[in-house]
Chains A and B, each alone.
Chain A
Amino acid sequence: MNSFLLQINNLEVNFDTRAGTVQALRGVSLSIAPGETLAIVGESGSGKSVTAQAIMGLIDVPGRISGGDILWEGQPLTAAKVGARHILGKEVTMVFQNPMTSLNPLMTVGAQISEVIELHLGFSRQAARKRAVELLSLVGISGPERRLNQYPHELSGGMRQRVMIAMGIACEPKLLIADEPTTALDVTIQAQILELLAELRETIGLAIILITHDLGIVAGLCDRVAVMYAGQIVETGSVYDIFESPSHPYTQGLIRSTPQLDVKDERLVSISGTPPGLLDPPSGCAFLPRCPAGDGGCDKPQSLKAFGAGAVACCKAGIDAWKEAV
């Protein structure tokens, strides 16, 4: 039990809006072990980012955590708790999606990195500066001494994302949450950033939660995958199992809608329709209206059950749903 770094049990997040209550997370459970890399994949609005925000205690009105709990090394982790500050931002850090707006334009890069170090590790200004130089070279920025005195607007997008990662790993965290860290970057920079993350995992034993909708990134970097759909995890498993034999029709659809260079004759699948609105989510399987294998039996609530080496929330787990659709 305590071998997990982070454990989330049955987490529910609701947003109170004037149109009604939006159920953004509907019972999400996941866990991550030290040094492990977990990918959370899913389409827009499936609850990936909300999960990350909930962990970091960043859920703000109109959102609220309405159920479930988050455990850090076995202890409940709530932003309001004394002591959570030492964990959040120090042992758990987050790299945001948009490197353009996540840095303060009025502070030099060096000052921003040093701030993290001075705050959490109690370093003196000089020591923090030295550490900042180390960090910048660690994330592959050339001429780090010069870069320290530059402002964010003087750096390119990829550089800024590296600076964000340098800030993220400044206190040698145990867990880094990367919320679509490469979405705003072009593919060559994207590859470099991912390589950097993989390297950090080896060198400082970092556990990573990678939030993305790009399956290509997942296959290259991650150990385990959790697939989210409409505020729930519909399938988890090792990256090998998920790609080799996906069990949930949605996962199958996702993978078959990604072009593969080595498979010639298979046509790409497109999953028609849109995800259900979370104002009034269906009580049964949320994927039913879009599922080619669905029938009347799928109307009952689906929960994550062990299937093969992983777990799936589907009463028809394992069947090849898209056979006829192609």
Chain B
Amino acid sequence: MATSSTHVPSAAAASGLRGAIAELWQDKAAAVGLVIILLLILMAVFAPLIAPYDPAAQAITARLKPPVWMARGTWDHLLGTDNLGRDVLSRIIWGARATLTIGAVTCLLAATLGTLVGLWAGFAGGRTDTLLMRIVDIQVSFPGIFLILLVVAMLGPGIWTLVAVLSMTNWMVYARLIRGIVSSTRQTPYVEAAELIGCKPGRVIFRHILPNLVSPLLTLAILEFTNIVLAEAAVSFLGFGVQPPATSWGLDVASGRDYLFIAWWLVTFPGLTIVATVLSINLFANWLRVTADPEERERRFARAEAAKRRRRTRGANA
């Protein structure tokens, strides 16, 4: 017993990364999700090498070509061309840059800002809490699109303006969520005990309270990612976001809408790419959320074992 109890954790610790990969592989959906996320990131990074055409290159003779498997489709344009003869595939590959950057950075900034405000308000309580949450209330009631137009008008359009503006209009939901959890976690005996044995507020907040927030934060951030991709599309469509010749998936979906009935591929392929991205992030984040929770992690393991046993007995019966 003594040997086995000391042996098992050391073996797990020795191969931390390999162990994590093995555990991820148990959840095939999450593994596929991670692979797709990595592929999308690589695609964005190496866009100039992969994309068959310049995404902005127009060709009037090759307008609105359908994808390759359709009657009029050609191998020159795998996913067809748009109303200006631009290659849809190349635009998707290049658009990944703007979309992924804006989505990821905005999510990160908004989540960080919102979490910090929420932690502060929930932990400090009292007047600080009231003040911070009133600021949140004011910001929430302020029409987002108006703020966006105002800032863009002042700073000029561009990816980073967009990131800043979208972060500014999206952090409140995090603050509200986090503040609620923190003010209830604060009352739990283990947090009171941590304060009692002399942990400084910083340690209590980041070591004892923050880990409780991982799972709701991940869930919310993914929901928000989709929102931000769509918000970016809306702002770009209005002409205040990503500026042509640069492109983004959202912009392509928005501008392809006018051709929906004669060229469905303009909306469909960028749209599908957004779906695939969000779905992959969801699958992987779900795995990550369970892994961050020791109890859930054991439960997942036990469920996998039960499934294996069922397969074995079914195999034996057949």
Binding site for B on A (CB under 8 A): 15-20, 61-64, 276-277, 279-280
Contact = CB atoms under 8 A, between A and B. Distances in A.
Given A16-B301, A18-B298, A61 B306 contact: yes
Interface in B40-73: none
A288 to B, nearest CB: 13
B155 interface: no
Given A18-B297, A19-B8, A20-B8, A61 B1 contact: no
B134 interface: no
Contacts of B9: 19
A279 B4 contact: yes
A280 B302 contact: no
Given A277-B1, A279-B1, A17 B8 contact: no
B306 A16 contact: yes
A187 B80 CA distance: 81
B301 A62 contact: yes
Interface of B: 1, 4-5, 8-9, 297-299, 301-303, 305-306
Contact of A17 (B1, B302, B306): B302
Contacts, number: 35
Given A16-B305, A277-B1, A62 B8 contact: no
Given A16-B301, A16-B305, A61-B299, 20 more contacts: A15-B302, A16-B306, A17-B301, A17-B302, A18-B297, A19-B8, A20-B4, A20-B8, A61-B302, A61-B303, A61-B306, A62-B298, A62-B299, A63-B302, A64-B302, A279-B1, A279-B4, A279-B5, A280-B1, A280-B4
A280 B1 CA distance: 6
A19 B5 CA distance: 8
A278 to B, nearest CB: 10
A18 B301 contact: yes
A280 B8 CA distance: 12
A39 B153 CA distance: 78
Contacts of A20: 4, 8
A277 B5 CA distance: 9
Contacts of B4: 20, 279-280
A277 B299 CA distance: 20
A325 B303 CA distance: 46
Given A276-B1, A277-B1, A280-B1, A16 B8 contact: no
Contacts of B297: 18
A26 to B, nearest CB: 15
Given A18-B298, A277-B1, A64 B8 contact: no
Contacts of B305: 16
Most buried by B among A18, A63, A64: A18
A280 B5 CA distance: 10
Contacts of A18: 297-298, 301
A163 B303 CA distance: 36
Nearest to B5: A277
Nearest to A63: B302
A16 B43 CA distance: 41
B290 to A, nearest CB: 13
A22 to B, nearest CB: 10
A276 B4 CA distance: 12
A276 B1 CA distance: 8
A64 B305 CA distance: 11
A18 B303 CA distance: 11
A125 to B, nearest CB: 32
Nearest to A17: B298
Most buried by A among B1, B298, B302, B306: B302
Nearest to B9: A19
11 contacts: A17-B298, A18-B297, A18-B298, A19-B5, A19-B8, A20-B4, A61-B303, A62-B298, A64-B302, A279-B1, A280-B4
A290 to B, nearest CB: 13
Nearest to B12: A18
A91 B303 CA distance: 31
Nearest to A64: B306
Contacts of A279: 1, 4-5
A123 B298 CA distance: 42
A263 B20 CA distance: 59
A16 B9 CA distance: 16
A17 B303 CA distance: 10
A16 B302 contact: yes
Nearest to B308: A16
Nearest to A281: B1
